[in-house]
Structure formats: C-alpha cells, structure tokens
Amino acid sequence: MNSLTIDYNFAVKEKISTGISNEELELQRGKAQKGFALLTDMVKNGSVGFPELPRQKLDEIKAIARGQGHKYNDLIVVGIGGSALGFEAIVNALLPSGYNTLSFADRLSYPRYWLLDNADPSIANSVLKYCNPEDTYVVVISKSGSTLETAINFSLVFDWMKASGHDLKKRLCIITDPLKGPLRDFANANEIPNIPLPSSVGGRFSVLSAVGLLPAALLGVDIEKLLAGAGSVIEGDWGKILTLAAIYMHFMTKRPINVLMPYSSRLVKFAEWYCQLWGESLGKRRTNSGNDVYFGTTPLRTSGAIDQHSQLQLFREGPDDKFITFISLEQHEHDLAVENAVHESFSYIVGHKVGELLNTELTATEGALFTLSRPSLKINLKQLDAYSLGQLFMLFQYATAVIGLANDIDPFNQPGVEEGKDFAYGLMGRANYEHKKREFEEIYVKSPEFVI
C-alpha cells in the first residue's frame, strides 16, 4: 500500500525557469546515492538505528499500554525537543481536534493528554491544577537523562504525585538511555518501570521508538500501522528518498529558506517536528573533515490555507530565497459540504466540500507562485492516518540524513546546542559546570548606554 507520492513538476527547469535541470538532478541524485550508501553502512555497523525501528518488537510498549491506557483520566508526558515534538505530531494528526474536551466515554476510556515541555510556570501550574494525581499516569522522556527543562518539570510532577501518597511505580514510566544518565540512575534505584531508548537513536530521530510510540499507544493510536507505513518507505524503492534529497540539495545552494506548508491543520505539529529535524541535523559549522562551511538552510513552518493570508505575499513577491514543499490530502476526514449561502455573493461555494476548498486553495497557491517562477514541490497523501503519517516521518528522516552525509555533515550530532545548555547548567549551579559559569560571566557584559 503506497499512499504517498511526490510531485516535483514545479521544481524542474522543463516547467519553471528557476527549476532544476535534468543534468543537475542526475548530478544531485548521484551525490544523494553516496550519502545513502554512507547511511546504509552506519545502519549496518549499528551506529545509526532509526531505520531499524519499523522492525522493533512492541511487546513491552503494548503491555504497558494495555495495563495503563484505560486506567487513568489523564496522561502527562514530560519531555522537550525530540522527546516531545514527535509525540505532538502524532496526536495532532491522529486524534480528533479538541480531544481533551471529550468525555471519558467519547475518548473510548483513553486518558486526556498533557505535555510539559517548556520550563514555563504557567503551563506547569495549569496542568497540575487540571489533573488529579491519583488519576494520572506520567511518562518522562529524555535521551541524556539530564535535560534541564525535563528535570525541572519532572521534579514538579514528582513532588505533586508524592504529596498525594500514591505509589509512583504504578503511575510512572521513564524512557531514557539504557546505561547512563540521571534518569537511568533514578529508575534503577527506585525500581521505576522504564524503557531504554537505543543508544543508536538520537532524540530527533526517535519518534518511531518508545519516545513516540508509548504515549501514543496509551492514547489508543495504532502504533503497528504507524510502523508499517514507515517501513514501506524503505522496502526496496529508494527513488522517492533520493529524488527528494537531490532536489533539496540543489535548492539549498540557491535558497536559504526551506518552507514546509501542509494544507491540513492536522499536520501543523508535524511541520514543527520537521523544523527540529532539519535545523538541528543540517545546521552545522564544520564538516566531518573539520572544515568551516556553515552548512544548512532555515526551516520554516507554515500552514495552508492560514498562511495564504499572512505569508504568501512575502513568498510570492518578496526576496526569491525560499523553496516550498506543500503537503496535500486527497481525502479529508469528516468532510462537510456547504448547503446554503449566507449571502448571494457566496452562492458559488454551495455544493462544495470544505476539503475540496482547501485542496483548491493549495492548487491555486502553487499556480500563483509558478507565475513568478517561485519553485515548489508537493507531497500528496491519499488520506492522513497512522500508515501515511509513518511514511512522512521516515521519508523526511531519511532525506535529511542522506543530505547531511552527502555533504560531509554529521546529521546526528548537535554541538551548537551544547554551549547554551552548558552555560545554563553553570548558571543554575550544576556540579562540574562552575567553569562554564565563570566563562559566561566573562563574556556576558552589557553596557547600560545600549539599553533604552
């Protein structure tokens, strides 16, 4: 079953003057194949694990979901970045809008869900206010086990639950590194149920591991179908991955902004997930060889048709520095038809469905960009379900990794993130980070004359 196609008509020179020529496309495909070969070797030697996730055993995840999924009114997920964005993308795409407002029965006895990602007191206060500790299950996620925001939020939840007098072992699961880190130590010392995150799977590539699958399963998502979709992308036909990577590599040298614009509100969080995947994987100062390159382009999340009314003006008539990827749905769930016009000037929409309108607006936007030679491509899904969402996750993960490796970039590290983390640890008084506090205090010198 293949519900995903890639339409790159408006990205090739045969159709649009700013497009990629056949010769350039073949050149970039060859480069992408080299990146793909490097990735294949890394998978074989065990250093990169995300392509293996569709074949993982789900027994442990499904056992926890069966035992805990229908017992509680609320699920709190504690994590940030790669430990949260994938889960958000899954529930945004596959659970109904306004899910938390449904009754327990209408939720089919699955819990409401809450995410504590940012260290924001307004969010933490609200979540702990709305939930009852004796009727809440908690999943804490951190690959390193030491993420500052997760440590803060988990500490708050831990105290909140402990004060209620209930046994944490029955209401808590930790997902973290299998061997090391503060959360690993905590889980081992307190006999807390836990699921190890494979060391070969980085945070932003972990959505199809327990990181995304456990909380999704607790909410009734068909995680087997999600993995089946992901696996379908890498079962023999690599053409889509190589072509997508080739097109992106070509336009990265010409347009510094890479826009993802799904025409479905159910994919807004997917676009946010994509922004971390693309930005953190490809935005690198140095190559693996140690040369300064300042590689990468800026990912931009938009949403159709909303951003036709806010950013399309810039995309079409502003600087010619963007490459746009649309995502379309052939079929929209629960589609509604307009039966009556509230004003005679609206009579032309009578008989049309809302999903039809959305798809028409996408097509019209493609055409509007085309008239000014602004290139784009479109990823088409027959429908948005667990299978097609799994396809999207794997397609973008593979294309991103291939692009990095093809350009001598390590798509699996994030050295640019660590400096800010280390400064924060020093300022918060974490042991062994005193030198980072001193270093920060030496550079963070501001003059009042520049403050107005």
Name the residues annotated as catalytic. 280, 309, 421
Two tokens, residue 67: 């035992």
Q: How many CA atoms lie within 13 A of 243 on its CB side?
A: 16
| DSSP code for 315 | H
**Rounded CA gap, 84 and 116, in Å?**
9
**Rounded CA gap, 83 and 66, in Å?**
22
> Which residue matches tokens 């501001």?
446
Residue by residue, DSSP assigns 127-184 as HHHHS-GGGEEEEEEESSS--HHHHHHHHHHHHHHHHTT--GGGTEEEEE-SS-SHHH
| DSSP code for 330 | S
Two tokens, residue 8: 């790159």
Within a 10 A sphere around the Cβ of 288, how many other Cβ atoms? 14
* Alpha-carbon torsion, ordered 377, 383, 384, 388, to 10 deg: -70
For residues 251 and 323, the answer to whether their CB atoms sit within 8 Å is yes
**Rounded CA gap, 248 and 6, in Å?**
13
H or E element at residue 381: strand 376-381
**Rounded CA gap, 273 and 86, in Å?**
6
